[in-house]
Amino acid sequence: MGVRRQAQTRVIMSVALVGALLLAGCSSEPEAVPAPSLSSALATPSADAVVTFDAQATCETYFQLDLLRSTVAAGIKDLSKKERRALLVEYQQLVADLSGTSGDAVSSGELPQEVLTNAEKMQMILDKFKKKDGVDSLSKKQKKRLTLQANRVEAQCATAGYALPQENIDARELIP
């Protein structure tokens, strides 16, 4: 899920939450407390009203990254140099997104610090490559380190209640 889509999701969830608060405040009883105004509901949300989905966004980004890793592991020999470059750029973007969303999830307390640490380690490995490099530029050692970090993120997502989707499991079965 891209950063733009995450922002859109958060805005939609905030609007829905405010709407629910306003509807809950409405009552047909004469002694009921009047509903708060829209500006006051947006300005000072209660602690109970704040809902975050940072762990979900982090894990969904990881799942996209995992699908890409499975695609690469299944074989890229038939791909052109341009397609291999595009895969590396996509890989780098997903890891950058993973670092961003995991930072939010750690800040909100939904995921442990290890998720951010592992995402940043993955990003450090991939930041060494330029646009002219393809995904096949990764050495065996770099692939092994990326896999180690990715497995750790996956384990933290599973612990947080976000299991690997069936689509990812099916993609892994295609790896020779």
Residues listed for the chain: 176
Contacts of 52 (CB under 8 A, 6+ apart): 104, 108, 110
Q: pLDDT of the chain along its 176 residues, tens only? A: 444 444 444 434 443 433 433 344 444 444 444 444 444 444 444 444 444 568 899 999 999 999 988 888 888 778 888 888 888 889 899 999 999 999 999 998 899 999 999 999 999 988 888 767 777 778 889 889 999 999 999 999 999 999 999 998 998 888 87
Q: How far apart, in whole angstroms, are the C-alpha atoms of residue 56 and residue 160? A: 9
- DSSP-based helix, strand, coil % in the chain, nearest 5: 70, 0, 30
Q: Give the pLDDT of residue 39.
A: 42
Q: How far apart, in whole angstroms, are the C-alpha atoms of residue 45 and residue 99? A: 27
Q: How far apart, in whole angstroms, are the C-alpha atoms of residue 18 and residue 12? A: 10
Contact 111, 139 (CB under 8 A): no
Whole-structure pTM value? 0.66
Q: What is the dihedral of CA 3, 128, 132, 88, to 10 degrees?
A: -50
